[in-house]
Amino acid sequence: MWSFSQLNNSNFIDVLLIMKLSNLFGTNNSARCIPLEGDKSLALPGNIVEVLESPSCDPKKIILQLKENLHLNKTDLKQPTPEAKRMIRCLAATAKESNRVDVVKHLREITPAGTTGPLLPGNLDICNIPSEQIRELTIDLSGGEEWKVVAERLGLNAKEIRYLDVRMRNPCDAALSVVSQRRCMNVDDLYDVLTDCGMPVLADIL
């Protein structure tokens, strides 16, 4: 994820390498945004939607109402079922839309990593992820072999992964750049890829 207006001499070379990779292995220029499989949206109880719209309502009160509606206890939040995870993700997404990021942050304190979804807008294209967050995420992944697992999950083949591993200083960032040239991918998609790869803590960087 580079902006040509922000390039310096060193990362200009990296961009040239990415362009070379695209020429070598091809891109899918006809790709379009495709919804994720399975509708993740749920209908929140009306009383929860109402309190989310009240800026003065304490996050703990909102979570308490969710627990009462779903008959959840502390264990259920620490080890949520798939259905509870979907409801928590739905609550977090609705809270972000209502400018209640404080609710999402509180949810992250009481649920396992990788449960709430990203703090960033879910429909934000990965090319537009703030530089500080994308740098932290890709450096963490590129520090070991984890980035290769993510790259493979994103559709890169063995030749492409080997090329990036040898030629790029931050191969994970380069892999995301290649993916973004081939198809539309947003923050929600990347968050789910990271959690599916067993990296929920890194997913919560987003």
Q: Where are the domains of the chain?
A: 7-27+122-203, 46-110
Q: Are 71 and 25 in contact (CB under 8 A)?
A: no
Sign of CA dihedral 114, 128, 136, 36: positive
CA dist., res. 88 & res. 80, Å (int) = 9
Q: Topology of 7-27+122-203 in CATH?
A: Death Domain, Fas (1.10.533)
Q: Range with the lowest mean pLDDT among 15-19, 27-31, 171-175, 178-182? A: 27-31
Model confidence band, residue 49 (pLDDT cutoffs 50, 70, 90): confident
Q: Are 1 and 126 in contact (CB under 8 A)?
A: yes
Q: Range with the lowest mean pLDDT among 11-15, 103-107, 116-120, 126-130? A: 11-15
pLDDT value at residue 35? 38
Q: Range with the lowest mean pLDDT among 18-32, 60-74, 90-104, 105-119? A: 18-32
Using alpha carbons only, give the angle 77, 97, 183 rounded to the nearest 5 degrees.
95
Arithmetic mean of pLDDT, 60-86: 82
Arithmetic mean of pLDDT, 152-169: 94
Is the pTM above the cut of 0.75? yes
Model confidence band, residue 176 (pLDDT cutoffs 50, 70, 90): very high
pLDDT value at residue 42? 64
